[in-house]
Amino acid sequence: MADNTTVDIVVLGGGSGGYAAALRAAELNKSVVLVEKDKVGGTCLHRGCIPTKALLHAGEIADQARESAQFGVNATFEGIDMAGVHKYKDGVVDKNFKGLQGLIRSRGIQIVEGEGRLTGANQVTVGDTVYTGTNVILATGSYSRTLPGLELDGQRVIASEHALQLDHVPASAIILGGGVIGVEFASAWKSFGADVTIVEALPHLVPLEDEANSKLLERAFRRRGIGFKLNSRFQRVEHTESGVRVFLEGGDTLEAEVLLVAVGRGPVSANLGYEDAGIAIERGFVQVDEYLRTNVPGVYAVGDVVSMGPTPHPQLAHVGFGEGILVAEHIAGLPVVPIDYAGVPRITYSSPEVASVGLTEVQAVEKHGAEAIKTVTYDLSGNGRSSILQTKGAVKLVARVDGPVLGVHIVGDRVGELIAEAQLIYNWEALPSEVAQLIHPHPTQSEAIGEAHMLLAGKPLHVHE
């Protein structure tokens, strides 16, 4: 006979969305069981956001060492010690993991290690134990997709989780997919000294970004010697003595030591009892409303496993955090406001970085009409701090004529740190004239935000012609 534990909330999945929901619910005096088959923190902490950004930072250090002479610093670059890079990366992950474990324990949350399955509308079964919750939150995350007929072997044909564990820098790499994951690994591997080529089926890299941002990134990658083939579709792959040979539609072929498949992430929902419990599923994604409620009363879903029908749902760790908090507060009866997903910042941590919030120019025109939209671009060559950092890029604003700012799109080194201000500008529906009157500290790259708004408000200052 199975044991039965009853609590207020059972959370299935301990990634960003799941643990955020658990933490906030416990703070609101709810009893919580958090079920996780691997480690709390999920993909983001262990196989995604944190370790990849550690690799990218190591690559930035390598680039700085190579280029130190231009700053009057005589440094010697002797290559990449991948064992040392992994020690640094794993240390960052481990520190965050231990901190998260301590935080969860301090809130009185019961962590259940094991593979859970939804065995009723309000029940999750792990082994011989049934955990019953007044509410259940599904937060089972996502996995690395591949293409039909393209099998991941973890050695020559790999996904991002394999790439994070390579014990050496590949001499050459083909990256299938020019979205965030593909672009970030291309950037890191190039910094480590690899010969990299990206294959993207769409017309631009980071195709979900404003086209101006995509073009600036492509220009920067050309300068860095990162190759890419746009409007190119994968056909098949063959293993060779030294690596892989990739065949593209149209007859082109590429050869490299490894092929990184970065064509997106799919929902982890199969064989977990969702459909048996009556949960509406479409293409593997759990269908939810604006409050993250499924069609089954008392059952919510958050994070990468979620879809909202035709509305795009960004697969971002911070989206999971926000959704987890929203659901916990909704369950507790607090007033909550549905998330405006366009107002969530998006960052690609390549070199240079790509950061954005709000609508692209195309989206703004589709929504409001071309005659109602105005755009300006402020080149970072006019920004003192950017000159010090030796970075190129721009800030592009999309706004309504005589109305608020609808989108902020930035390319340049370290510009991800600027997007928080842009988030406030978009979400508070600020007018360009209102932002233009704010005094930004000098010399900082944040001045570029102010200068762009001054330009849009009709009173430009340091505008580079």
| Backbone Cα Rg of the chain | 23
**What confidence tens digit (pLDDT) does each residue in 94-113 have?**
999 999 999 999 999 999 99
**Is residue 2 very low, low, confident or very high in pLDDT (cuts 50, 70, 90)?**
low
Mean pLDDT score of the chain: 96
Strand partners, 136: 10, 299
Residues 207/210/211/213 CA torsion (nearest 10 deg): -100
Mean pLDDT computed over 179-194 = 98
Query: Of the given ranges (53-62, 179-188, 204-213, 452-461), which has the lowest mean pLDDT?
Result: 452-461
For the chain, domains (ranges, CATH) are 3-144+266-341 (3.50.50.60), 157-263 (3.50.50.60), 352-456 (3.30.390.30)
What pLDDT is stored for residue 1 in this prediction?
Answer: 41
Percent pLDDT > 70 in the chain is 99
**What confidence tens digit (pLDDT) does each residue in 135-144 have?**
999 999 999 9
How far is the CA of 340 from the CAs of 7, 118, 358, 427, in angstroms? 31, 29, 9, 9
Q: Is residue 295 predicted with pLDDT exceeding 90? A: yes
Can you read off the two tokens belonging to residue 227? 């190759």
Q: Is residue 8 predicted with pLDDT exceeding 90? A: yes
Q: Which of 239, 409, 440, 442 is catalytic?
A: 442
How far is the CA of 366 from the CAs of 314, 344, 371, in angstroms? 20, 20, 11
What pLDDT is stored for residue 387 in this prediction?
Answer: 95
Q: Is residue 424 predicted with pLDDT exceeding 90? A: yes
Reference 139, options 25, 309, 6; nearest CA is: 25
Catalytic annotation present for 318 = no
Close Cβ partners of 225 (under 8 Å, ≥ 6 residues apart): 190
What pLDDT is stored for residue 226 in this prediction?
Answer: 98
What pLDDT is stored for residue 121 in this prediction?
Answer: 87
**Is residue 462 very low, low, confident or very high in pLDDT (cuts 50, 70, 90)?**
confident
Strand partners, 177: none
Q: What is the pTM of this model?
A: 0.96
Contact between residue 5 and residue 130 where contact means Cβ atoms under 8 Å apart: yes
**Is residue 464 very low, low, confident or very high in pLDDT (cuts 50, 70, 90)?**
low
How far is the CA of 153 from the CAs of 16, 95, 150, in angstroms? 28, 30, 9
**Helix, strand or coil, per DSSP, at residue 394:** strand
Percent pLDDT > 90 in the chain is 95
